[in-house]
Amino acid sequence: MNLYKRIPITLFFLFFTLLTVNAQRKTIEIRPTGAFGEIDEEKYPGAKILTRSQSGQVHVFHDGIDLWCDQAIIYSKDDFVEAYGNVLMKQGDTISMVSKYAEYSGKTQLAYAKGEVVLTEPSSVLTTDKLYFDRAKQQSHYNTGGQVVRDSSGTITSTVGRYYMKTKKYRFLNDVKLVNPEYTLNTKQLDFFSESGHAYMYGPSTIEDKTSKIYCERGFYNTNNDTGYFIKNSRIDYENRIFEGDSMYFDRNKSFASATNNIKVTDTINNSVIKGHYAEVYRAKDSVFITKRALAISVQEKDSVYLHADTLMVTGKAEHRITRAYRNGKIYKSDMSGKADSIYVDHKTGLTKFINISKPQEKGAFKVRRKPILWNAGNQMTGDTIHLKSNPKTEKLDSLIVFNNAFLISKDSLLKDAYNQISGKRLIGLFDKANQLKQANIYKNSQSIIYTRNDINELIGIDKAKSANIEMYFENGDILEYRRLIQSEGQTYPESKLATKDRILSGFDWRGDEQPKSIEDLFSEDEPYVPVKIKGLAPFVPEEEFFDEALLKRVEEADKSETQKIKDGEKEKPSRASRQIPKKAINTKPNSKTLKKRRPKVKRHIANKDDR
């Protein structure tokens, strides 16, 4: 029998008022709006049906939350309401939600919304198709995809999302993407604070724009001022550089990045690498600054060049890089090595400069540093400044110039503490195809001490001479030919006739023990360096909580269950959100046939606390 009846809306108000007064807890209240009230005991036993009128929508209230809709089914015994059509739910003056359909339980304080759901709070707007809301915990979540829009940060989309209202925090899971006009962020999990714009990334993450791509597996990004901090497998890819380090800081506004510990900067155009434990990169200025056991490597096909100093700086566009090594610069190659206070390398022209920079002392005088020095094929060359020229394409040494106080020394092959020596104002040297010194010309005020030998390597005597210029030819590092040119004067002495003190030219300084003979030798004079301890990234989240696996598992099981139902041929139940209120129901009382047709019996989504 059809038990459908119509009763005056005033009886509803009286009925619910009595419930509210007598109950030990707060129950759902109906606020007067002039809505139509009806009962259909056959379809909805114990339920009251309210439909909006010309005066306005149905309005219910529960403990600080207001709900408006076009039609509501209220179960007084269960303290439960179903809302249809133009649903608006508000909590105070800060949180509001609109949808096509909603459920709310006064007992559990759980809410469920479906159909074009929009949750608005002061700093952001969340949209999704289905949203669960726990008032007791002040949390809401979706698991069928959603997005959050924040004007200054952009739009965030994900498969799963949670919103923690007390802390104004979102947690996004699975296929998380933040799209900003300046960049796009992708990650596995993102914790986002809507008021501050702070974003915390967990798992493989990227931040990509037109000029760079950041990768990390644990990181922070401030979407308000475009700065970030990354501490796990951090890396930034620029147009022609790859920047890696244990801990990295990034400032998009300044095109700046810095890194600490185990730094590696790879120049993909010039095939070079810089390493160290602290570095700064200025992308807009095309410059790199690196220190703490800094090492630059020019990777070559046959023999790479290694450059070390206290501080390295690389500047210039990719087609014309300049490397500068400051304080205690050293260079090593299998067939050549050198030292200077400062070393300058022009990678385009192949010019390397070995320079000394005088250091002022307390009393105003200048400290005289040891001269720049170059070793090649057993020959030691020093001077105030040394220029070394090589061919960038063939990787071959071409020539060298020693400016002022040039001094060339090589050890005699047989005698102990015997040195061939040539000094003058300037030295110009040429190299052969094997990168060995083949010719050296010394100009102006030249002096020499040469141990001369015959074809069977017997000592003939010690030649000591002066001349305007000297010309020498080498073969495999040994003196092949020696010529004194212009105003020459000298004498060859038997070994026994030349005193030991007379076998040394003024300015002699043999420094063979300083010569780097391996990559490790470049660091031989450095103090031991202990990498700094990297601070963690607050807020700390244990590894096992990174991806909210429990929630993901429930979502996965629900998807499997739904898929199985489709395979088993079950018909999909009607969606509440798809049910529309007839236009005439807004202005007139609905009849029983209309109500029966549009409200089939369905299972509640939030019947108890376990259905969150």
What is the pLDDT averaged over residues 24-31? 73
* Tokens standing for residue 41: 């005991």
Confidence at 25, pLDDT banded by 50, 70, 90? low
Q: What is residue 132's predicted lDDT score, i.e. its pLDDT? A: 93
What is the pLDDT averaged over residues 334-347? 93
Tell me, rounded to whole angstroms, the distance of Cα 207 from its chain centroid.
8
What is the pLDDT averaged over residues 586-594? 38
Confidence at 588, pLDDT banded by 50, 70, 90? very low
For residues 422 and 446, the answer to whether their CB atoms sit within 8 Å is yes
pLDDT of 128 higher than 50: yes
Contacts of 358 (CB under 8 A, 6+ apart): 366, 367, 368, 369
* Cα–Cα distance, 71 to 316 (Å, whole number): 69
CA dihedral defined by 80, 85, 86, 90, rounded to 10 degrees? 0
556: left (phi over 0), alpha (psi -120 to 50) or beta: alpha
Confidence at 98, pLDDT banded by 50, 70, 90? very high
What is the pLDDT averaged over residues 566-571? 52
* Cα–Cα distance, 63 to 40 (Å, whole number): 28
How far lies 520's CA from each of 105, 294, 318, 497, 523, in Å?
A: 72, 13, 29, 44, 6
Q: What is residue 28's predicted lDDT score, i.e. its pLDDT? A: 81
List, for residues 224-271, the tens digit of each pLDDT value: 999 999 998 999 999 889 999 999 999 999 999 999 999 999 998 888
Spatial CA neighbour of 162 closest among 552, 565, 557: 552
List, for residues 503-518, the tens digit of each pLDDT value: 999 999 999 999 999 9
Say how many Å lie between the first and final Cα of the chain, rounded.
Answer: 37
pLDDT of 592 higher than 80: no
How far lies 173's CA from each of 225, 428, 505, 542, in Å?
A: 24, 67, 77, 16
For residues 134 and 110, the answer to whether their CB atoms sit within 8 Å is yes
Up-side HSE of residue 419: CA atoms within 13 Å toward CB? 23
pLDDT of 565 higher than 90: no
What is the pLDDT averaged over residues 175-197? 92
Q: What is residue 487's predicted lDDT score, i.e. its pLDDT? A: 79
Spatial CA neighbour of 549 closest among 203, 156, 255, 216: 203
* Cα–Cα distance, 405 to 424 (Å, whole number): 6
Least confident of 201-205, 343-347, 573-577: 573-577
List, for residues 449-485, the tens digit of each pLDDT value: 999 988 888 899 999 999 999 998 988 878 888 888 8
What is the pLDDT averaged over residues 33-41? 80
If residue 558 lies in a helix (H) or strand (E), which one and from where to where?
Answer: helix 549-567
* Tokens standing for residue 460: 């003939």
* Percent of the chain residues topping a pLDDT of 90: 53
* Percent of the chain residues topping a pLDDT of 70: 82
Confidence at 103, pLDDT banded by 50, 70, 90? very high
Confidence at 351, pLDDT banded by 50, 70, 90? very high
pTM, 2 dp: 0.76
List, for residues 403-458, the tens digit of each pLDDT value: 999 999 999 888 888 999 999 999 999 999 889 999 999 999 899 999 998 888 88
Cis bond leading into 539, ω under 30°?
Answer: yes
For every residue of 164-191, DSSP letters joined together read ETTTTEEEEEEEEEEE-SS-EEEEEEEE
List, for residues 149-185, the tens digit of each pLDDT value: 988 889 999 999 999 988 889 999 999 999 999 999 9
> What is the pLDDT of the chain when averaged over all its residues?
83
For every residue of 189-222, DSSP letters joined together read EEEEETTTTEEEEEEEEEEE-SS-EEEEEEEEEE
Q: What is residue 271's predicted lDDT score, i.e. its pLDDT? A: 85
- Annotate 451-516 with three-state secondary structure: EEECCCCCEEEEEEEEEEEEEEEEECCEEEEEEEECCCEEEEECHHHCCHHHHCCCCCCCCHHHCC
pLDDT of 369 higher than 80: no
List, for residues 288-338, the tens digit of each pLDDT value: 999 999 999 988 777 889 999 999 999 998 889 999 999 999 999 988 999
Q: Provide the pairing of β-strand 234-237 with 437-453.
A: unpaired
* Cα–Cα distance, 418 to 415 (Å, whole number): 6
Opening angle at CA 416, ends 413 and 422, nearest 5: 65
